[in-house]
Chain A
């Protein structure tokens, strides 16, 4: 009996900690000028990889178009995107990283606005809630987690329909095959939801998709 009440109280106080973090995060992220594009990707990628350069270029061109860039603030693809997105003085776009404590990862050297949260779900919530497009570079568990969370939220209409771009045809090939061959065939995902995301290797196509949704530029 008392143990059970103790457990509930513990959860309650834990949640109060979460609440402050969420509020602080929302305050920071909602000060970013819209539109916002989130870039996800793996932390373990070398600086001479082709995806690294592509992420760098993408970040750079997004900021030039006055689109703010939101990343996980870590190394790898996140670093490439933020290094590209170092903001020129005249623009109003900003770049922000949201990290998680106790990972042993330092924030990368390029990120200009950075804060850390204790919980992964809080980070994901903030990374997905305010964005008008998602670009997913090759990555591991965390990236897959974020990608599938976005699709689930759109499927269940908890998030409005936004474009999701999977970058790297070769890397995501097997994954798309799994979705098409197994998941679609057995009806665990609908064709409508598959149409949400685009598999590409071409930055130009990424821009044209994002611009349609963000309603900026020509």
Chain B
């Protein structure tokens, strides 16, 4: 048999599985309290847990305003964000959700949020990016960076509607910003820095942006 046949059968199997997982994920997302805010970040608690505390603080404030927080469902920043929302929310079942990937951190049990495991990274990113009204990024590695640039790319090419992208931790992102300026001078990037994302060290400012943007959003409309 030809190779393309086996590849196609395998791809069919993968796409049926992740399609069902995505539909299941959308159902879970639609049961959360609306609007939804995505919080991304790395797996560690960096700088003595400073950023983890900020993440927790931010999701507390979100929960107080009736927004729900979704994360990648792993340890570190993601866990902190989940826990903040869970502790503060009145309706704890609808407050927060983690969306993880099988094979990554399999033995980690999230103490605060139910974690929906999907098979592929693209299914996870679909669920984390398509239904949120704002993105908050804490320091993280290449996974976080991947999500950041995917969102920016989709916004720039009008495949997604404009939403605020907030980077927290100005000292951490400094060199990446420098690279951004460099690329902007080269005209590889046409979006100026100020309209691409908001960089801040202050959770209150991030919260203000989210409140200005989000209140009317809901995926159940």
Complex Cα distance A158/B125, Å? 15
Q: Are A12's CB and B19's CB within 8 A?
A: yes
Asked if B172 is at the interface (CB within 8 A of a chain A CB), the reply is yes
Chain B residues with Cβ under 8 A from A174's Cβ?
175-176, 178-179, 182
**What's the tally of chain A residues with a CB closer than 8 Å to chain B?**
58
Partner-B contacts on A (CB < 8 A): 3-4, 7-8, 11-12, 15-16, 18-19, 22-23, 26-27, 30-31, 42, 44-45, 100, 102-103, 120-122, 124-125, 138-145, 148-149, 151-153, 155-158, 171-172, 174-175, 177-178, 181-183, 186-189, 193
What are 18 A-B pairs at a CB distance below 8 A? A4-B220, A11-B26, A12-B19, A23-B12, A27-B4, A27-B8, A30-B3, A138-B186, A139-B188, A141-B156, A144-B149, A151-B146, A152-B146, A155-B142, A155-B143, A156-B101, A174-B182, A186-B139
Q: In the complex, which residue of chain B has the Cβ closest to the Cβ of A101?
A: B159
CB-CB contacts of B201-220 with A at 8 A, as 1s and 0s? 00000000000000000011
**Residue from A7, A141, A148, A171 within 8 A of B186 (CB atoms):** A171
B: interface residue count bin = 35 or more
- State the main secondary structure of chain B at its contact with A: helix
A8 contacts which chain B residues (CB < 8 A)?
Answer: 23, 26-27, 30
Decide if A26 touches B4 in the complex (CB within 8 Å): yes
Most chain A Cβ neighbours within 10 Å, of B43, B142, B172, B219? B142
